[in-house]
Amino acid sequence: MPWFAPAAVGQAEARALLRRYEDGTLNVTVPGLLYLEVLNVAARQLRWPGGRLSELSLRLEAIGFRTAEPGLPAIAEWAGRGLTAYDAAYVALAEELGVPLITADGDILRTARELARPLV
């Protein structure tokens, strides 16, 4: 959400990462659920109306992150360490790809210290 929501924590850092992705100096792979989670936050927490959500969906598609799905056993392992299955999917994917996970999520940062790097 730091890419899209006004005054979101980590907005400057997130936008800097997005610029690096757009200029080809950073590869990004996400679980497909990222798009659903962003739309959910915008709809439920930020209470964006349908038209604005439609615009957001188009912006998300235009970004074009590569998607990959981690294996369920890896998700289960991280969920067993205390993460939600949704958060565990991000950690499991980073682990499977052998890359760091950049996040502002405190639970992920505490639970997956060897993989997670703070956004801010």
> For residues 54, 58, 64 and 66, what is the CA-based torsion angle, rounded to 10 degrees?
20
Q: Do 21 and 72 sit in the same domain of this protein?
A: yes
- Is the predicted pLDDT of residue 117 greater than 70, yes or no? yes
Q: Do 87 and 53 sit in the same domain of this protein?
A: no
Q: Do 77 and 60 sit in the same domain of this protein?
A: no
CB count within 10 Å of CB 96 equals 14
Number of domains observed in the structure of the chain: 2
> For residues 57, 14, 41 and 96, what is the CA-based torsion angle, rounded to 10 degrees?
90
- Is the predicted pLDDT of residue 9 greater than 80, yes or no? no
Range of the domain at 48: 32-67
Q: Do 114 and 102 sit in the same domain of this protein?
A: yes
Q: Do 120 and 76 sit in the same domain of this protein?
A: yes
Per-residue pLDDT of 66-84, as tens digits, reads 999 999 999 999 999 999 9
Q: Are 91 and 101 in contact (CB under 8 A)?
A: yes
Give, in order, the Cα–Cα distances in Å from 35 to each of 49, 110, 113: 17, 24, 24
